[in-house]
Amino acid sequence: MAWQALTPPGEDFSKWYNEVVYRADLADQSPVRGSIIVKPYGYELWENIKAGLDRRFKATGHQNAYFPLFIPESFLKREAEHVEGFSPELAVVTIGGGKVLEEPYIVRPTSETIIMDAFHNWIQSYRDLPLLLNQWANVVRWEMRTRPFLRTLEFLWQEGHTAHATFEEAEAETLQMLDVYADFAVNDGAIPVIKGRKSDQERFAGALHTYTIEAMMGDKRALQSGTSHNLGQNFAKAFDIQYLDRNNERQYCWTTSWGLSWRILGGVVMTHGDDKGLRLPPKLAPYQVVIVPIFKNDDEQGVVIETATRISRELASSGIRVHLDKREDLSPGFKYNYWELRGVPVRVEVGPKDIEKGSVVAARRDIPGRDGKQFLSQENLAAQLSALLDEIQTNMLRQATEFRDANLHDVKNYDELKQVVQQGGFARGWWAGSPDDEAHIKGETSATHRCFPFDQPDGTGACLFTGKPADKIAIFAKAY
Amino acid sequence: MAWQALTPPGEDFSKWYNEVVYRADLADQSPVRGSIIVKPYGYELWENIKAGLDRRFKATGHQNAYFPLFIPESFLKREAEHVEGFSPELAVVTIGGGKVLEEPYIVRPTSETIIMDAFHNWIQSYRDLPLLLNQWANVVRWEMRTRPFLRTLEFLWQEGHTAHATFEEAEAETLQMLDVYADFAVNDGAIPVIKGRKSDQERFAGALHTYTIEAMMGDKRALQSGTSHNLGQNFAKAFDIQYLDRNNERQYCWTTSWGLSWRILGGVVMTHGDDKGLRLPPKLAPYQVVIVPIFKNDDEQGVVIETATRISRELASSGIRVHLDKREDLSPGFKYNYWELRGVPVRVEVGPKDIEKGSVVAARRDIPGRDGKQFLSQENLAAQLSALLDEIQTNMLRQATEFRDANLHDVKNYDELKQVVQQGGFARGWWAGSPDDEAHIKGETSATHRCFPFDQPDGTGACLFTGKPADKIAIFAKAY
């Protein structure tokens, strides 16, 4: 088999991204416009993402449930902003069991409406609060321009939906779940993120506040990686979700929702990938270690495969996700490229000389070439590799953070903003502009208001666009 | 809160089933006709079912993937029997993004067609075989008469899809996966099942052979609990799935599919439930142990809650799924009923006297009343409870098997079959009838041909319906 080099990410990032996604077996194109097939390697990565999030959701008191795929059309119309936001993107079922339906069903673009209807039925008193649910599901949004994982017609995600007695509790939940997302992105995904609040223009349709985690991709664009919404009483009023408080008085609930999709998988690819392909953080990698046996003849093959098999079993029993690549018709060099493309954090090479010396060669994916190679004793190998995987996880976060920080620039005026956007990167500066000003910037530079970061300087300054006094800084960038 | 008794299952099994499903918080009705909301308790039960199956799928070499929800209408039409079987049940998306679609999309009723199209692209040579995939997904079938979990418009399931070089390999896979289902049903679900082959009438639309596991529910009806299909070359020819064999000649693949849905959750309810509600096998129960603290005043409350909390932590750290019911406004008696309804296998009672004696009371859900109660020392409690949970798991399987065997009757002729069907139970006898004969029996008795069980007697006999020589026995029963 011949090996074809990837388009270098520096040359055409978008082309590089598509090549990596398809050639590293994360996904395949499908005959359904804008929908992808997630192949086993990509799906296992998604399963690891799910597990990391699900554990955190349960640790913060949430339970999973499952609501219908179909939503009666009338439900979507009950919250005015919500229906306006989603109408252009809907897939509509008009025929069921061979008959035209009296009321069409919408394939859920998100489940606020059908879940809020259930909350209306389930919540009677303050004793029923807070109600903390999450759903893992597929949703459909009729996007016109799609890209694998980043924007697809159908996508897999989770959506949390909670109800609370007070604004303060709802706000605390909204922020807690943003922290959960950030903790996952940083510690499992090795993706540094900026937590912040969306501008009114970028709010979720029907929300009071939308909070976001924003990450910088390898091409210096922003990726909105997860959002958490304080929905105020908008949905509670639209769906009549009331509870009796301790004084036996009826009150409307305060609700939240928060969602993170397989877009984060695209974020992992675009944060860490390089000219050889994927680089997966050890905590999420389907295989953390791949073993490549090296031999020249049948005699060598026997002893090498025997040792490699023993090592593979030892690592697996220590909880390391390991794969032994025993394919016979492929050269070691081919296998190195193959697994580098697929981003396996550590490659272990086992050859006759290693067996003589009781060692193996471990090659790190995060440090290219000789610098990333070292001999490890076969004795106590699992513990050494576990430590190495931890080091790689930490190093990948450091690399990504340094890259992000080097491309995050403070700007004082619109010219500086334009310059940053043109050269690539995040532009951060004082902001007191209007929605129209945001639209103007977007029209001229393609950059959007990403967020008002939580991390704010003291004092005030002059708005980078209007020059008016501003008490908050904002970040602008081109985004996915 | 008042406690309302369930309708006894012996009085109206169907009504009892619905009451248990809704009152034990497994599911709720939804505003979407025939679709249910799976509540957290039911969803956790489903998650445990998924985990038990997924582990077995992976152990037999299968990988998970994810294919689009929507299927182009033309795909479904490629396999003649398949489209004929599913057409009456389809939900059709005709509008997307505000426009009428040129080609409507079908919401998948099953994914053979879209997955076989991918197999066509992925399989080139014998080296690509076998291809062993599984998908966890939601599917939609426009059923007219629905019942929670047993028959719903949308349901969650898994569908395995595999491709092989030969008929023999495909047949071995089909049978292996039936064994996997049976192993799961028996060992995790404590549901005894009969493995067998479906008659031609009851085959999957497009299959060569369909194998099934059939279980007997508490009302002596049959539940088809999982099916595995050898699809022969039907789909391979419809979707042009060919491979180059070792002689470099093009051959059509042989494919299989196998599916099990949340219907099995209904099977758990109907196999084990009693007049107090659910009885969950320990391996699947969301909570294996519930701790109910007992106290009469604040002093007692303090020490009891302290001990109960310590015990709860110890059990959790030993891997037991435990819940401490600390609710303050409810009596112990209310809590007993509450958790019996929800089928928790073991209730642990902790009161002041227990604390004095260093013991607890453990009450088994599988043995009612005093006979199921025993004192256990607080010392080494986790190990004692683990052993008790194993015993309960075994006992529930034994109870269900005895019930099934007591209601499985050998019949020699149609009169005996009718009598068995009327009194409730499985009728087993020699069968050489035609599809028309099956239809006749179904019309007169509502009983259907469940399967030709794998477990066959030696020799031959006279067909129970036609009197003709028969070389196989079959099982007839009313079924869900």
Type of residue at B231: L
pLDDT score, position A236? 97
Say if residues A254 and A286 touch (Cβ distance below 8 Å): no
CATH number (domain holding residue A414): 3.30.110.30
Beta bridge partners of A100: A95
Question: B90 and A98: CB-CB below 8 Å?
Answer: yes
Question: A142 and B44: CB-CB below 8 Å?
Answer: no
pLDDT score, position A201? 86
Which chain B residues are Cβ-neighbours of A72 within 8 angstroms?
31-32
Question: B31 and A65: CB-CB below 8 Å?
Answer: no
What secondary structure letter does DSSP report for B8?
Answer: P
- pLDDT, tens digit, for every residue of B191-227? 999 999 999 988 888 899 999 999 999 999 999 999 9
Which chain B residues are Cβ-neighbours of A93 within 8 angstroms?
91-94, 107
Domain membership of residue A278 (yes or no) is no
Question: A142 and B97: CB-CB below 8 Å?
Answer: yes
- Give the residue ranges of DSSP H helices in A232-351: 234-238, 263-272, 298-317, 332-341
- CA torsion A432-A433-A435-A438 (nearest 10°) is -120
- Give the residue ranges of DSSP H helices in B320-380: 332-341, 352-357
First to last CA, chain B: 35
Dist CA A129 CA A250 (whole Å): 14
CA distance, residue B93 to nearest chain A CA (Å): 4
Let me know whether A337 and A244 are in one domain. no
CA distance, residue B474 to nearest chain A CA (Å): 33
Enter the tokens of residue B282: 């320990």
Dist CA A472 CA B253 (whole Å): 64
CB nearest to B117's CB, from A31, A43, A46: A31
Let me know whether A222 and A320 are in one domain. no
Enter the tokens of residue B321: 């799924």
Dist CA A380 CA A361 (whole Å): 14
Domain membership of residue B227 (yes or no) is yes
Nearest Cα residue to A426 out of A468, A475, A367: A475
Let me know whether A382 and A412 are in one domain. no
Helix (H) or strand (E) holding B376: strand B373-377
CB nearest to B70's CB, from A35, A65, A122: A35
Domain C-terminal end among A272, A298, A323: A272
Which chain B residues are Cβ-neighbours of A98 within 8 angstroms?
87-88, 90, 142
Dist CA B16 CA B1 (whole Å): 21
Question: A90 and B70: CB-CB below 8 Å?
Answer: no
Say if residues A207 and A231 touch (Cβ distance below 8 Å): yes
Q: What's the CA angle centered on B391, arms B385 and B395, to 5 degrees?
A: 145
Question: A91 and B93: CB-CB below 8 Å?
Answer: yes
CA distance, residue A69 to nearest chain B CA (Å): 7
Name the closest residue on chain B to residue A286, using Cα atoms: B63
Domain carrying residue B128: 13-272
Beta bridge partners of B120: none
- CA torsion B330-B334-B340-B342 (nearest 10°) is -50
Dist CA B286 CA A221 (whole Å): 44
Type of residue at B69: L
CB nearest to B64's CB, from A40, A88, A153: A40
Let me know whether B75 and B135 are in one domain. yes
Enter the tokens of residue A475: 């970040």
Name the closest residue on chain B to residue A40, using Cα atoms: B65
CB atoms within 10 A of CB B330: 13
- Which residues, at least 6 apart from B336, have a Cβ–Cβ distance to it below 8 Å? B292, B347, B363
Say if residues B126 and B244 touch (Cβ distance below 8 Å): yes
Block residue for tokens 């320990």 = B282
Question: pTM of the entire structure?
Answer: 0.96
CATH number (domain holding residue B322): 3.40.50.800
Enter the tokens of residue A184: 């996952």
Nearest Cα residue to A226 out of A159, A127, A291, A278: A159
Which chain A residues are Cβ-neighbours of B88 within 8 angstroms?
97-98
Q: Is the pLDDT of residue B1 over 80?
A: no
List the beta strands (DSSP E) in A57-153: 63-64, 70-72, 91-96, 99-107, 131-140
Block residue for tokens 């998650």 = B47
Dist CA A45 CA A273 (whole Å): 15
- Which residues, at least 6 apart from B36, have a Cβ–Cβ distance to it below 8 Å? A68, B27, B28, B29, B30, B148, B149, B152
Q: Is the pLDDT of residue B3 over 70?
A: no
In terms of pLDDT, which residue wins out, B55 or A201?
B55
Question: How far out from the chain centre does Cα B27 lie?
Answer: 16
Question: B65 and A38: CB-CB below 8 Å?
Answer: yes
Helix (H) or strand (E) holding B178: helix B167-187
Dist CA A170 CA A230 (whole Å): 6
Enter the tokens of residue A321: 């996700």
CB nearest to A43's CB, from B37, B66, B117: B66
Enter the tokens of residue A400: 């990504």
Which chain A residues are Cβ-neighbours of B40 within 8 angstroms?
63-65, 133
pLDDT score, position B85? 83
Say if residues A94 and A104 touch (Cβ distance below 8 Å): yes
Name the closest residue on chain B to residue A69, using Cα atoms: B154
Domains in chain B: how many in total?
A: 3
First to last CA, chain A: 35
Q: How far is CA A27 from CA A31, A263, A414, B123, in A?
A: 13, 13, 40, 16
Which chain B residues are Cβ-neighbours of A148 within 8 angstroms?
none
Enter the tokens of residue B403: 């019930």
Name the closest residue on chain B to residue A144, using Cα atoms: B97
CB nearest to B72's CB, from A32, A92, A93: A32
Q: What is the mean pLDDT of residues B286-294?
A: 98
Q: Which residue, among B41, B106, B107, would best test binding to A if mutated, counting the most A CBs under 10 Å from its CB?
A: B107
Q: How far is CA B243 from CA A327, A471, B78, in A?
A: 19, 67, 20
Coil vs helix vs strand at A347:
strand
Question: B30 and A72: CB-CB below 8 Å?
Answer: no
Dist CA B272 CA B162 (whole Å): 33
Domain C-terminal end among A354, A389, A424: A389
Domain membership of residue A30 (yes or no) is yes
Which chain B residues are Cβ-neighbours of A113 within 8 angstroms?
none
How many helical (H) and strand (E) elements, i.e. helices and strands, does chain B have?
14, 25
- Which residues, at least 6 apart from B390, have a Cβ–Cβ distance to it below 8 Å? B282
Coil vs helix vs strand at B82:
helix
Question: B38 and A65: CB-CB below 8 Å?
Answer: yes
Name the closest residue on chain A to residue B144, using Cα atoms: A97
Question: A75 and B31: CB-CB below 8 Å?
Answer: yes
Phi, psi dihedral angles at B205 (to 5 degrees): -65, 105
Domain membership of residue A69 (yes or no) is yes
Which chain B residues are Cβ-neighbours of A161 within 8 angstroms?
none
Domain membership of residue A396 (yes or no) is no
Question: A44 and B63: CB-CB below 8 Å?
Answer: yes
Helix (H) or strand (E) holding A40: helix A40-59
Domain membership of residue B394 (yes or no) is no
Q: Is the pLDDT of residue B81 over 90?
A: no
CA distance, residue B293 to nearest chain A CA (Å): 20
- Give the residue ranges of DSSP H helices in A375-427: 381-406, 414-423
Which chain B residues are Cβ-neighbours of A95 within 8 angstroms?
90-92, 94, 104
Domain C-terminal end among A389, A423, A448: A389
User: Is the link from the previous residue into A130 a cis peptide, with omega within 30 of 0?
Assistant: yes
Let me know whether A418 and A381 are in one domain. no
Burial class (CB within 10 angstroms; exposed 0-12, middle 13-18, buried 19+) of B252: middle
Phi, psi dihedral angles at B164 (to 5 degrees): -135, 165
Measured over the CA atoms of residue A198, residue A200, residue A205 and residue A207, the dihedral's sign is: positive
Let me know whether B146 and B243 are in one domain. yes
CATH number (domain holding residue B224): 3.30.930.10
**Structure ipTM:** 0.96
CA distance, residue B96 to nearest chain A CA (Å): 4
Block residue for tokens 């953070």 = A401
Let me know whether A155 and A267 are in one domain. yes
Domain membership of residue A8 (yes or no) is no
Which chain A residues are Cβ-neighbours of B107 within 8 angstroms?
69, 93, 107
- pLDDT, tens digit, for every residue of B379-431? 999 999 999 999 999 999 999 999 999 999 999 999 999 999 999 999 999 99
Dist CA A85 CA A101 (whole Å): 24
Let me know whether A54 and A161 are in one domain. yes
CB nearest to A64's CB, from B47, B64, B75: B47
Nearest Cα residue to A70 out of A107, A115, A38, A95: A107
Let me know whether A382 and A426 are in one domain. no
Percentage of chain B lying above the pLDDT 70 cut: 99
CB nearest to B94's CB, from A28, A35, A92: A92
CA distance, residue B330 to nearest chain A CA (Å): 13
Let me know whether B267 and B305 are in one domain. no
Beta bridge partners of B255: B163
CB atoms within 10 A of CB A218: 18
CB nearest to B69's CB, from A43, A92, A154: A154
Name the closest residue on chain A to residue B41, using Cα atoms: A65
Nearest Cα residue to A180 out of A169, A162, A193, A164: A193
Name the closest residue on chain A to residue B156, using Cα atoms: A66
Question: A97 and B89: CB-CB below 8 Å?
Answer: yes
Mean of all residue pLDDT scores within chain B:
96
Let me know whether A421 and A376 are in one domain. no
Dist CA B106 CA B74 (whole Å): 9
Q: Which residue, among B32, B100, B138, B151, would best test binding to A if mutated, counting the most A CBs under 10 Å from its CB?
A: B32
Name the closest residue on chain B to residue A131, using Cα atoms: B40
Block residue for tokens 């990686």 = A225
CA distance, residue A232 to nearest chain B CA (Å): 24
Helix (H) or strand (E) holding B117: helix B112-122
Say if residues A8 and A16 touch (Cβ distance below 8 Å): yes
Q: Which residues of chain A have pLDDT under 70?
A: 1-3
Enter the tokens of residue A317: 């029993």
Question: A65 and B114: CB-CB below 8 Å?
Answer: no
Name the closest residue on chain A to residue B104, using Cα atoms: A93
Let me know whether A364 and A436 are in one domain. no
Type of residue at A188: D
Beta bridge partners of B155: B139
Enter the tokens of residue B261: 């849905």
CB nearest to A32's CB, from B38, B70, B137: B70
Enter the tokens of residue B41: 């308790």
Domain membership of residue B8 (yes or no) is no
CB nearest to B28's CB, from A47, A71, A118: A118
CA distance, residue B1 to nearest chain A CA (Å): 13
Enter the tokens of residue B92: 């059709």
Dist CA B70 CA B104 (whole Å): 9
Cβ-based contacts under 8 A for chains A and B: 160
Which chain B residues are Cβ-neighbours of A87 within 8 angstroms?
98
